[in-house]
Structure 1
Amino acid sequence: MSNYQVMLGVPSAELEDALTARFEELTDADLVSTHWSSREVSETVGKIQGLDVVLIHESLGPLPVLDLIRDISGNHPQLAVILVVDEVESDTFTNAMEAGARSVLPANATIEQISARVSTAAEWSRTLRRHLEAASLDVPMTGRHASIVSFTGSKGGVGTTTTVIHLARLTAKAGRRVCLVDLDLQMGDVPGYFDLKHRRSIVDLVEAADDISASMLADALYVHPDGLHILLAPDHGERGEDVTGSATRKILGALRSRYDLVVVDCGSTMTEATAMAVELSDTAVVLTNPDLPALRSAQRIIAMWERLQIRESTNVTGLLMRHSRKNEIQPDFARKLLGITMLRTTVPAAYRAVEAASNTGSPDRLTDESLLKAYGQLAGELEMFASSEKTDEKETGGEASWLDAAKPATPAKGLRRLTRKGDSGAGIVEFALVTPFLCIAGLLVLQILLIGLGGMYATHAANEGARQAAVTPNDYDAIVEESTKRIIGPWDDEENFSLELVNQHGAVYVNVTIETPAVIPWAPTPDTWDVSGSARVLDER
């Protein structure tokens, strides 16, 4: 039988070294990976084939360890989780069991204790896996694990909701199961953009967040004819306070297990709920306008996420809205100012184009080709069109009946054609405009190299000539012959090389002039430039 596969989650290098050293003594268990944060554990646990046991220390953060255990137990029921604690107490043991852990292990456990706990947990995991495989369940063993993409505006009015709506619609039309979550809990107005009325919102899921069933989600979600599923913000903004970070984590976890993609509109203000969404998201996008107030707001948001350990700036993506070549601030400057990765695609400044769609609550009325192309390219760049995992039509508990999205009105190939149409023609025009400048730049570089080479040869020749003139001051031919030894052809030809002895203020100088070819169109002479070098003759007599 193969060794047990174990993952370790610890908060420090010291604890990692201590546990790793003891695992090296075990003959029936292999430590396959070690992680220092709950995010790494959550992202990696479903990617390791044959994983049996996950050991998690009680101090691992930033997500509370019991919440992390619930996530793993809910999304990967075949895995055995062991909680590692500094001191084993009755309350700790009870809470761990209720969260879904299989056992509790003291951090200072002996090798024999570790071996016994890991072996028992791993055998349970493998037995459960065999039973599940034998039952031929329709739900994959690892569970569905959707990508979460969050969008946060640097300030109000940058176009966050409009962008989120059209990206979600495009992705749903491409055949993916998409859920749009409005987490702008005080000011969210997604119903206005779709002209929809729905009595349920995210608040209705808060009380049942610990055990959200398919029927609960079906009752809370609005299903748009495009196939997009929408979880709305509450009608009354004050009720947004009921949506805590813990509830948000559980709600997003329930959605993640049932969809291919979860798109979250976080608005422009940070709450406990939006902070949790940004932390859990696979991609966190900050939208900003090309003006300094908006860029400074984006800087403050990104810095606040870092200070609160919500998300590192290296893991934040920027999106420039309302872009125009006439703007003073261009994408490169915005990228340098924010210090984050910026999406190559920008959203053009087409203010009037979105008015009809926004005012009538009909997204289909957006017909501006530049905006549609930009949204299509953004969805592609954010990998929102990625093909989903194949699942059977039947799901346990009858979930397939309410999860089935509408058939895509536009196939993925059509979307790709939409986003790429005209690119080749624009590329040819741009290349034709740039080619003359590239040629001129190349000629300029070549001319600089020729002048530099000629100057170097002239200086060397003058030095050698000065040394020979100090020995044979009256033998001009010997001086010329010695000077040209340091020059290669065609620079040493009589037509290109000239030497003269000059007496200045009682001192004799050797002046060498070399004719350098002129290759740039604006050269001062038709054919050549003269490059000179000079050296003083020292009287050695």
Structure 2
Amino acid sequence: MSNLLRLALVDPNDSTRESLKATLLGLESVWLEAECSRYAFFQDVLKQTNPDVGFISMDGDPDQAVDLIESISRNNPNVTLLVASSSTDGSLILRTMRAGAKEFLTQPLKPEELAAALARIHRTRFGEGQSARGCKVITVTGATGGVGVTSMAVNLGCSLAADPDHSVVLLDLDLTLGDADVFLDTVPEYTLTDVSQNVARLDFTLLRRSLTKHASGLYLLPRPVALEDALLVTPDDLSRVIGLLKATFTHLIIDASKAYNALDMLALRLSDEALMVTQLDLPCLRNVVRLMVSFERTPGLKEKTRIIVNRAGQGGASISLRKAQETLGQEVYWQVPNDFRTMIEVRNNGVPLLEQAPKAAITQSISQLAGALCGRGEADSPSEIAGRNRSWLGLWGGKSKRTAEEPDAEPSQLGG
């Protein structure tokens, strides 16, 4: 991964040093270059390794630590100093910052605060346009049940995970009926409830151990096993879990429920992209209109919501792309072709599309969607989408070949 922060740390306390090492090793944006147990030797370590960041735990001897910070700032000005202390004494913090520290964190460290501090250091060192890694949060939701939200989330996650530069986790937020684990044929040991109830004690390494890793490289945090356990996950818990996942992975895919409850809306607010999966039929499009009106009440939510038409070209579809877009008042971002037989096989076998049917049009479409969401190519215009769908429809015998430009239901039927 480009622009990794190379870090050396000093902490005379063995237990806190080991804990800090475990946390840092779980961060993909940082390379732990060296560690040291004595303040007196740390400057020699810096000269030998020349890291980007020097992490100083001050609790061993605060006065000696401040002297060390001042000496490093004078003799190694290219090393950015990040310090941590269990003390919140204002005078100590002021002395530390005056000595040359750039970031001050309170121990015990919160992983998300450490990640945020390192992100600030990275932006300062490499510039705003060169993120150390960052995390793109994509929430996948639907206009109604049964439109393929989970299949979209799972296969999008697997497509993203196929890139060796990506680390991807899927969070199943359908806490009662979620089945992402079925799509991946896994039996998870831990669930969202387990993680949320212990989030205050987790570091990045323990978090990864709490996830289920699929052969595709995709990590999964599944929904609770017992229905009643869904009530144990609060918005505050979910916010902290998302914060930890964002600090640990390059991509977080959230498979939201269709209840649009407090947890779903929190996920949508915290996401960078929201994918609204729908079909070109009257009930779905009416729901999209209603949801978009509701999304206007949350600043920025409607603007980051992209319409994804699933099962495009299925026989008997009564609404055209053109009329659907007129009704919705916005363009469809992407269309995924209908391939019922392949999707049934994928679900029953518990394998992703990339494994079951890597050359299928539906697989290629979702892979291209993953690329577009990562900035590797833009979404096609409506006319290009329609043309692509016409070519897709020719792949399956017996399917309707009506195009997106044929006469259809009037837009007035879809409003309200």
Q: TM-score, normalised by structure 1?
A: 0.46
> Aligned equivalents of 2:235 and 2:247: distance in 1?
18
Q: Report the Cα distance in structure 1 between the residues aligned to 2:282 and 2:94, rounded to whole angstroms.
A: 56
Per the alignment, in what secondary structure is the counterpart of residue 128 of structure 1? coil
1:317-332 maps to which residues of 2 (within 5 A)? 317-324=306-313, 327-332=317-322
Please give the secondary structure, in 1, of the residue aligned with 2:228. Answer: helix
The corresponding residue for 2:268 is 278
* TM-score, reference length from structure 2: 0.58
Tell me, yes or no, if the aligned pair for 2:82 and 2:104 is still in contact at 8 Å. no
Describe the SS at the equivalent of 2:138: strand
Residue 268, structure 1, aligned to residue 241, structure 2: no
Q: Read off the aligned partner of 1:357 and give its amino acid letter.
A: V
* SS of match in other structure, 2:335: coil
Report the CA distance between 1:215 and its aligned residue: 3.6
Over 3 Å counting, the alpha-carbon distance change for 1:371 and 1:257 in structure 2 is: same
Given candidates 123, 131, 142, the residue that maps to 1:153 is 142
Look up the equivalent residue of 1:220 and give its one-letter code. S
Query: For residue 365 of structure 2, what is the aligned residue in structure 1?
Result: 374
Partners of 2:211 and 2:221 within 8 A in 1: yes
Return the alpha-carbon distance in structure 1 between the equivalents of residues 133 and 88 of structure 2: 21
**1:328 Cα shift?**
2.9
2:160 aligns with 171
Trace 1:168-247 onto structure 2 (pairs within 5 A). 168-175=157-164, 176-247=166-237
Question: 1:279: Cα distance to partner?
Answer: 0.3
Q: Distance in 1 between matches of 2:195 and 2:264?
A: 16
1:173/1:227 contact within 8 Å kept: yes
Secondary structure at the counterpart of residue 311 of structure 2:
coil
* Offset of residue 346 of structure 1: 0.5
Structure exhibiting the larger radius of gyration computed from Cα positions: 1
Q: CA RMSD of the aligned region, Å? A: 3.5
Do the aligned partners of 1:146 and 1:257 also contact (CA within 8 Å) in 2? yes
8 A contact 1:202–1:220 mirrored in 2: no
| SS class of match (1:322) | strand
For 1:271 and 1:200, locate their aligned partners in 2 and report how far apart those are by CA, in whole Å.
Answer: 23
SS of 1:290's equivalent in the other structure is coil
Task: Tell me the alpha carbon deviations over residues 227-274 of structure 1, each in whole angstroms, 9 at most, x when there is no partner.
Answer: 111111111233112211111111111111111111111032212221
Residue in 1 that maps onto 2:128? none
| Distance across 1 between alignment mates of 2:323 and 2:88 | 50
Count of paired positions: 273
Q: AA paired with 2:235? A: G
| Structure 1 equivalent of residue 304 of structure 2 | 315
1:393-441 CA distance string (max 9 Å, x none): xxxxxxxxxxxxxxxxxxxxxxxxxxxxx98xx7xxxxxxxxxxxxxxx
Matched residues in 2 for 1:245 and 1:260: separation?
22
Deviation at 1:196, TM superposition (A): 0.9
Give the 3 Å change call, closer, same or farther, for CA 177–292 of structure 1 in structure 2.
same
Q: Which residue of 2 aligns with 1:20?
A: none
**CA 322–250 in structure 1, closer or farther in 2 if over 3 Å, else same:** same
Q: Which runs of 5+ in 1 are unaligned?
A: 1-76, 80-97, 104-119, 387-421, 427-541
Give the 3 Å change call, closer, same or farther, for CA 78–163 of structure 1 in structure 2: same
Decide whether aligned partners of structure 1 residues 121 and 158 sit closer, same or farther in structure 2, where only a CA change above 3 A counts: farther
2:97 is aligned with 1:124: yes
Q: Can you list the C-alpha shifts for 1:269-289, whole angstroms capped at 9, x where unaligned?
A: 212221111000000111111
In structure 2, what residue type is equivalent to 1:196?
T
| 2:274 and 2:306 in contact (8 A); partners too | yes
CA displacement at 1:139 relative to structure 2 = 5.8
- The residue type paired with residue 148 of structure 1 is V
Paired-residue identity, %: 24
Letter in 2 for 1:372: T
Structure 1 stretches of 4+ with a deviation exceeding 4 A read 100-103, 120-123, 137-140
CA shift, 1:299, in A, is 2.2
